[in-house]
Chains A and B, each alone.
Chain A
Amino acid sequence: MLAKFFETLYHKAFVNIVVEGGQTSIYMELCSKTKVVESTQATFETDKVNSELIEFINSYIRETPYFYISVLDMAKDQGVIPTCEKNRLSYYYDLSSSEHKCSDKKWTYYTSKPEIYEIEKVYKEIGVDFIFSPFTLLSNFFKDKISSTLAMYIILQRGYISIAIFDSSELLYGDHLDMEHDASEDILISDDLDDDIELDLEDGIDLEDIDVDSDDMELIDDFGDIEDLDSIEEIDEFSEHKDVEEEFYETEEVIAESDEDSFNEDYQRFSLIQSSIGRYYKDIKYKSSFIENVYIGDGVGVSSDMKRYLEEEMFLNVYIRHLNLAEEVCELAKMEFN
């Protein structure tokens, strides 16, 4: 009773922390009972909790004892399972060392317990009140689409990609991809390939034996025009989608043009998404349905290449929404009190 009375006297402060790609984004919101009184966002070039970061957070939470610190879980070993039945969970994933929660009595999201302990240890100076899975963030961000359509939903973060396929609120498949981990795996694979080539070289390959026809060379030259063709197709497809999903497009932001760095990253993202979709179609554990639409929550500022790859290579209709991860984490934190 007394606590409720005190709670009405103070504002609630939501501190939302997202650590991605060596950066820490902090979004703070000071809320009264009905409206947002103040909000601010800052990015620190560190993934550790240093004095500058603590000072920044303390400057806001000093005003009220009712502050809640939320962290977006960036654990590698996390994911989703398309059931809440306890006896079927182990069929999809061994949850013995994982913390898991059921969402809407339809699907389960999990993360590794050591990672949660690690987050609590890292933020012990300021404390942590909520740890959210990117999948709950995804389902909340696309809640208007998830309930009605069969589509793939993707949250793009710096270094991570969270993928979920929903058919009318029913989860079919989910995957959490670590770009750095997969990149290093790729390097290892490519090293192996180099070894193989060396072995082949030891066997002796004479380059002169390779016969290259002049027709083939012409074909290779024509590859340079593929990009132009792709761009023509993209324009056609884009116009078609606009007719169908015009309302959705109106909410989207203009996608940035690609530069060299983002091109590589986007291609890596595309590759990971492609391989994940491949796993979805192949793995008998999951109920396969043909995916036509992809909704992307863009938390990194993805280039147009990414969209183009998905549309051209996988024949998907791609819709991109801009996503501020820290703000969405704040929305989840607020939902905890509703």
Chain B
Amino acid sequence: MLNSYIKPRKKSAITQEIQLMFTFFSITILMLFITFVFLAFKDYTFAADSRDIHNERVSIEKNLQVMKSDISYIEKQKQFSQTIYTKNSVLKDSISNLFDLVPQRITLSEAKLLENGLILYGITPNKDVYNFMLQAPLRSIFHRTYSSFYPAENGWYRFVSTNYTDKEEELDIEN
């Protein structure tokens, strides 16, 4: 307003129609942007979830491997324990059988169970009782049997019976 008595009206290139058009475009662009942001967020969360799930899967796979190895170990252990149990049962039966083998007239003072053998210490009234009633069954069980006698004070005999089982022969028998 340099020389004029009045101020000029405010001019704008944006007419009401253009304003309306801009409003519609703005709303559309805003909605598109919001949708884009929503989808981008969803995409990000999906990617994050996918990554987490993948990591979880890797960790589970690792755990699975560990568990598999544990299971195989446990199975081995179980097998081993069963083997021991079986062996123990066999041993128990063997001992039971052993004691069943020992006649009433012979008294055992010590028995040593070896991996492939048995050593028995005891007192017998005479050698014949031993030879006929104990050595005969032992010979049928073990491959090699050695017996030693020592006379006791009361006229009886102390004996040491050493019995061995040969492995090869054992395997041959199994086959």
Interface residues of A (CB under 8 A from B): 3, 6-7, 9-10, 65-68, 70, 73, 99, 101, 103, 111, 116, 120, 127-133, 136, 140, 332, 335-336
CB neighbours (8 Å) of A7 from chain B are: 11, 13
| A-B contact list, 9 entries, CB within 8 Å | A6-B12, A6-B14, A65-B15, A70-B4, A99-B5, A130-B3, A130-B8, A335-B3, A336-B1
Does B171 touch A at the CB level, under 8 Å?
A: no
CB neighbours (8 Å) of B6 from chain A are: 116, 120, 128-131
Separation of A63 and B102 alpha carbons in the complex (Å): 133
Does B9 touch A at the CB level, under 8 Å?
A: yes
**Contact: A129 with B8, CB < 8 Å?**
yes
Q: A7-B13, A65-B11, A65-B13 are in contact. Are A335 and B2 (CB under 8 A)?
A: yes
**Contact: A103 with B3, CB < 8 Å?**
yes
CB neighbours (8 Å) of A140 from chain B are: 3
* New A-B pairs, 10, CB < 8 Å, besides A129-B8, A129-B9: A68-B11, A101-B5, A103-B3, A116-B5, A120-B6, A130-B3, A130-B8, A132-B4, A335-B2, A336-B2
**Contact: A336 with B3, CB < 8 Å?**
yes
CB neighbours (8 Å) of A111 from chain B are: 5
- Chain B residue at smallest Cβ distance from A98: B5
A-B contact count (CB 8 A): 57
CB neighbours (8 Å) of B14 from chain A are: 6
Q: A9-B13, A65-B13, A66-B13 are in contact. Are A132 and B8 (CB under 8 A)?
A: no
- Chain B residue at smallest Cβ distance from A7: B13
- Chain A residue at smallest Cβ distance from B7: A129
B1-51 residues with Cβ-Cβ distance < 8 A to A are 1-6, 8-9, 11-15
Separation of A101 and B5 alpha carbons in the complex (Å): 7
Separation of A99 and B4 alpha carbons in the complex (Å): 11
- Chain B residue at smallest Cβ distance from A127: B9
Separation of A136 and B5 alpha carbons in the complex (Å): 11
Separation of A65 and B8 alpha carbons in the complex (Å): 13
Which 7 residue pairs are nearest across A and B when measured between Cβ atoms? A6-B13, A129-B8, A130-B4, A136-B3, A131-B5, A65-B13, A66-B11
CB neighbours (8 Å) of A10 from chain B are: 13
B98 to chain A, nearest CB (A): 110
**Contact: B5 with A65, CB < 8 Å?**
no
- Chain B residue at smallest Cβ distance from A65: B13
Most buried by A among B1, B6, B14: B6
- Among B5, B9, B11, B13, contact of A133 (Cβ-Cβ < 8 Å): B5
**Contact: A132 with B13, CB < 8 Å?**
no
